Amino acid sequence: MDTNRYFFKNGIRFECTRCGICCTGEPGTVYVNKEEVYKIAKYLNIEVDVLKENYLYPFRDSYSIKELENGDCIFFKDGCSIYPVRPMQCRTYPFWMMNLRNEKRWEQVKKECPGIGNGRIYTADEIIEIINNSPI
């Protein structure tokens, strides 16, 4: 793939600091596919129906995660309480299409996420692959 036309053609350094900024605050949806629903239930050692009833709500062809009144993810308790089984949408942040659609938007995201600029360099090809794997 010719990635030279992307503003991130030289790659982007990123390592999550697990600060929780992207899991808290402003309300949003977090798409959880059906396989992820089962994985989260298993991880929490609860029935799938109990998970759906207490932590999820229907969204698109599957579910999204409930939030507290302040917009925080219901699973955010001094860090992500389902980190090993967190949904693909969370795993792929900040490399979402909506964040990388242009440099101006990316500059905004950089101000919100302290992990950007730290850690290893993700190549443009890797970033494109992550974008393609993200449900958002």
Verify binding: residue 113, ligand SF4, rule CB under 6 A.
yes
Among 9, 13, 18, 42, binds ligand SF4 (CB under 6 A): 18
Does 115 help bind ligand SF4 (rule: CB under 6 A)?
yes
Query: Which residue's CB is nearer to ligand SF4, number 46 or number 72?
Result: 72
Which tokens go with 28? 């949003």
Q: Tell how many helices (H) and how many strands (E) occur in the chain.
A: 6, 5
Per CB under 6 A, 19 contacts ligand SF4:
yes
- If binding is defined by CB under 6 A, does position 22 make contact with ligand SF4? yes
d(CA 50, CA 95): 31
Spatial separation of the C-alpha atoms in residues 61 and 43, rounded to whole Å: 22
Of the residues 9, 10, 13, 17, which one makes contact with ligand SF4 according to CB under 6 A: 17
